[in-house]
Amino acid sequence: MNPMGEKRNNQSAVQYLLDAFNEELLSGALRPGDQIPTEVELSEQFGVARNTVREAIKILVAMGVLEIRRPVGTFVCEGFTEPMISPLLYGVILGRGDSYDELMDLREIMETGTMLTVIRNATDEELLTLSEPLAALRDACLADAPEIENVFEKDNAFHETMMALSHNRMVERIADIVRTMTHDMRHESVELMLSKGRSEELYLAHEKLYRLLRDRDVDGVYKEIRSTYFVPDAI
């Protein structure tokens, strides 16, 4: 790592170091799996106290960027790590406001992208495994007296199975975040559909998604994904 020049007067020493790490990662000077210099070396290199270095490293470890391997040293993480998700989740939640339409757009983008990734990465045999959660959803929807929580649970299980078939941990986790953010919206849709006696329609919408995936119908995904949503105001 190379010094990045004088830190701005209004910039904390810790933030200065974090920015330096970011620059090294973006430039490729630091790569996944690389060992970073020791605390003493970083302290001398950047002209900051060792406790400043220690605090910056602690933050980057918490963010999933660095990992400490005792007694060897500190290394740049390789690949996508779970702690990276939390700052993203809070950033999206705090910045989303109360816009229903924006949330719908985000849901559409992620579900379309997830389905296209599944079509690209899943085998024919894996796509067929979706028939099991689909059958469970069918039984829940077509029961004599469909229960909201049971239908909602089976709906989630179908989508979670689908996301796992993407074979892309980042897509799976971010799609899961979007589903967490839209939990109330989706639950309300299920509740209203059942109250209107439209549980079979709810099931058939998921059957359509299954057919699109099974048939690897990319054009159909772009055309049909929004039509499978049940917007409360339109029910």
**Closest among 130, 111, 103 to 225, alpha carbons compared:** 111
CATH hierarchy code of domain 84-234: 1.20.120.530
Note the pLDDT of residue 4: 43
CA distance 153 to 113: 23
CA distance 235 to 231: 6
Q: 190 near 180, Cβ under 8 Å?
A: no
Pick the CATH number of 13-79 from 1.10.150.670, 1.10.10.10, 1.10.150.170, 3.40.720.10: 1.10.10.10
Question: Where are the chain's structural domains?
Answer: 13-79, 84-234
Residues, the chain, total? Answer: 235
Three-state DSSP at 76 gives strand
32: left (phi over 0), alpha (psi -120 to 50) or beta: beta
Note the pLDDT of residue 173: 80
Partners of 75 in beta bridges? 35, 67
Q: CA separation (Å) from 72 to 17, 35, 45, 198?
A: 22, 9, 20, 61
pLDDT more than 70, % of the chain: 82
Asked if residue 97 has pLDDT above 60, the reply is no
Note the pLDDT of residue 185: 83
pLDDT more than 90, % of the chain: 52
Q: If residue 74 lies in a helix (H) or strand (E), which one and from where to where? A: strand 73-76
Q: Helix 100-121 to helix 169-181 angle, to the nearest 10 degrees?
A: 150
Produce one character per residue of 84-116: b if its CB has 16 or more CB atoms within 10 Å, e if not: ebeeebeeeeeeeeeeeeebeebbeebbebbbb
For residues 84 and 111, the model is more confident at 111
Mean pLDDT of 190-213: 94
Asked if residue 191 has pLDDT above 80, the reply is yes
pLDDT in tens, 149-181: 999 999 999 999 999 999 998 888 888 878 887
For residues 166 and 13, the model is more confident at 166
